[in-house]
Homo-oligomer: A and B are copies of this chain.
Amino acid sequence: MDSLEVDKRPQKDGAVTLQDVAREVGVHTSTVSRALDPTKQERVKESTRMQIVDAAERLGYRPHMIARGLQSGRTATIGVVAADLGNTFVTPIIHGLAGAIEGAGMLPMIAETQDDHDRFANILDHMLSRRVDGIVAVATRAGDKEILESAGRLVPVVVAARPLDDTVLPQVIHDDRRGGAMVAEHLHSLGHQVVAQLQGPPDVANFPRRAEGFSEFGRSIGLVEVLVLEQATRPIISEGQRLMEALLEQGSELPTAIFAHNDLMALGALAVLRAKGLGVPDDLSLVGYNDLPMVGQLSPPLTTVRYPSLEVGRAAGKMILQLLAGERPEDQWLEPLLVPRWSARRI
């Protein structure tokens, strides 16, 4: 029985393994592994390497990244936790992120929280189970901080888009406070004196910051703010409608200009105003935030603050890569830019 060789066919699913290639060439799997590894292929005799490469090609060998990952502990995957893929605000972030990490052979894996804390927790857990190499959180609410930080102890985590107060986690931060102030300044420069805000959910840190920047700077230059008694529970169109209606019905003085905390809420407000027969900007000026695709071509073209989504995604990707390389990246600051269009006009 000197020929114990068992005829091991390629596995049921048809995948060709290192074994198959090794058998084909008549060498050991470790030799094949070395021959196919760019960093080690010098340690293999040129002639055998050629045979191996050839056989691998011929058989259609494809490395099994899962098996490799089990060994190395890396999956070349970055988990992206978003709130809502239906919001055109997040797509460019994912786009930028994907572009930034693809050079390193990494791919994003995406999940949606729907702004629900339990889902957030589950998703984080799931991603850790999958052993993603890093996590980019673009959906964080204040209540998610602890759990995200504890994930950060296991794997690199970058916080993007929605900032977190007092955290050790590295962040890509947008200066929302400054953005809010820019809106106040713009309205003031157009001659407005009585203004109001439609505020986004207070537990998404961007919104309180926008509110503060707007209110404080506005006060300092003499703007009078009519307080809206409601706040949005989510930063979406329907909530913009609700707040706008609340403002109109609460019986207080009507402002001449409104700062909606994001473009979607501005769209909601616009719909309500239109329905009530109020013209924008003729009767009321309106400013949004984010500069979503196409808002510059709305009727009227929306004055807004440009939020650099693509750059945020790119920066987050780079930071994750740095973290993975053992570096400790500094927080990135990305500045807002006021984009004056036609929905806010001189009074």
A residues at B contact (CB < 8 Å): 13-15, 62-67, 69-70, 73, 75-77, 85-86, 88, 91-92, 94-95, 98-99, 102, 105, 107-112, 125-126, 128-131, 153-154, 267, 270, 292-295, 297-301, 310
Contact = CB atoms under 8 A, between A and B. Distances in A.
A307 to B, nearest CB: 15
Contacts of A128: 62
The 10 closest A-B pairs by CB, nearest first: A299-B299, A85-B95, A294-B294, A91-B91, A65-B129, A65-B130, A109-B109, A297-B298, A66-B131, A86-B95
A334 to B, nearest CB: 18
B75 A98 contact: no
Given A85-B92, A267-B294, 19 more contacts: A64-B129, A64-B131, A65-B129, A66-B69, A66-B131, A85-B91, A85-B95, A85-B98, A88-B88, A91-B91, A98-B110, A99-B112, A107-B109, A108-B110, A109-B110, A110-B110, A267-B297, A294-B298, A297-B298
Contacts of A98: 85, 110-112
Contacts of A293: 88, 294
B67 A154 contact: no
A85 B267 CA distance: 23
A311 to B, nearest CB: 13
A126 B109 contact: no
A336 B153 CA distance: 49
Nearest to A130: B65
Given A66-B131, A297-B298, A107 B126 contact: yes
Nearest to A108: B110
A139 to B, nearest CB: 13
A77 B13 CA distance: 17
A224 to B, nearest CB: 30
Contacts of A295: 294
14 contacts: A62-B128, A77-B109, A85-B91, A85-B95, A88-B293, A94-B110, A95-B112, A102-B112, A107-B130, A267-B294, A294-B298, A297-B299, A299-B300, A299-B301
B66 A130 contact: yes
Contacts of A94: 85, 110
A77 B108 CA distance: 11
A298 B270 CA distance: 13
Contacts of A294: 88, 267, 292-295, 298
